[in-house]
Structure 1
Amino acid sequence: MRRVALIALLTFLLDQASKIAVVWGLNLAERGEIDVVPPYLSFHMAWNRGVNFGLGSSTGDLMRWVLVALALGISAWVWRWIAREGHGPWARASAGLLIGGALGNVVDRLAYGAVADFLNMSCCGIENPYAFNVADIAIFLGAVGLVLFTAESPKPRSGRRKTP
């Protein structure tokens, strides 16, 4: 479980460092938008009070605390599941990404009341109206990794046959 803890910690630190550097260091919270490599990458400040793409967002505090509890509950469940089932290194790395990302967004909700999203990528004449952050990327990659690397594999067959 050291791999899970280490990857979760590194993911959490990278997420929080990127938010501090961009949102506060570059003053994106006040500036609202910074073109980095237009039109492909820009920073757009968005305070997300809901889940992905702002779904379930509300101005009330109830949703904030529901989402904090949900993220903590899912993180604890994933930790226990990976520990108990004895999955391989890729599954453990995926669990670390998911847990670290979820905890990064939990800290935002506790500190600011919303998740700080700022990354925006567009391409080829298609303008993406949504912003995301490092934690969102980690959660997505972790979830995909858990699906891919925890699928049941056939149990090894023994050399003996059972007789009826």
Structure 2
Amino acid sequence: MKLNKRSLFIILVIVLTIAVDQISKVIVRENITLRTDINPGERIPLIGDAFVMMNVENTGAFLGMGSDLNPTLRILLLLALPILVLGFVLRHIFKDKSLDNWSLFAFASIIGGGIANVFDRIVFGKVTDFLFIDLGGVFRTGIFNLADLSVTTGMIILIFMSFKNKKKTKES
């Protein structure tokens, strides 16, 4: 694989995404008391009660789904499958030269976020989540981390670019 500007861009986005996520998780683990069934942990308001930090260990996937799966299924669904999918997506973005920069950024963000969370599952057996948004019941998230934010942002960009590209195609 030749390292041109495009390849360097992809690698840089992936590495920065992983680094920022892992650094944020180290800071949270070292400085915010873990929330458990017994201990409510700390809640640190960032913007009143609308945007809060806390330390939660997630043994499942999105919103804790899969935490009660048996160990074999958990390995298959939360480690093997994501690694396989991330590998295919990575291969796709290096091979498909027709992707625009926004789509490359989006895919690289998704891959970086995915790798960061898979790394946590391999090394710690769980993922550290720490951000929570509650806009007075109108909009409320589960507890998430920066890797989740990267994956979500990447997906939103891909959806937006898909609509933009469809509009361009119709105009042609």
TM, length-normalised to structure 1: 0.81
| Letter paired with 2:169 | P
> Which of 133-142 and 76-85 deviates more?
76-85
Provide Cα deviations, 1:74-97, integer angstroms capped at 9, x if missing partner. Answer: 211111112222111111111110
Identity %: 28
Q: Which runs of 5 or more residues in structure 1 are unaligned?
A: 158-164
> Which of 140-149 and 84-93 deviates more?
140-149
Aligned length: 156
The corresponding residue for 1:103 is 115
Q: 1:126: Cα distance to partner?
A: 5.4
Contact 1:43/1:118 (<8 A) preserved: yes
Which one of the candidate residues 61, 67, 90 is aligned to 2:71? 61
Q: 1:127: Cα distance to partner?
A: 8.2
Map 1:23-38 onto structure 2 (within 5 A).
23-24=29-30, 26-29=31-34, 32-37=41-46, 38=48
The corresponding residue for 1:73 is 84
Structure showing greater Rg: 1
The corresponding residue for 1:140 is 152
The corresponding residue for 1:162 is none
Cα RMSD, aligned residues only: 2.6
Change (3 A) 1:112 1:63: farther
| Letter paired with 2:53 | F
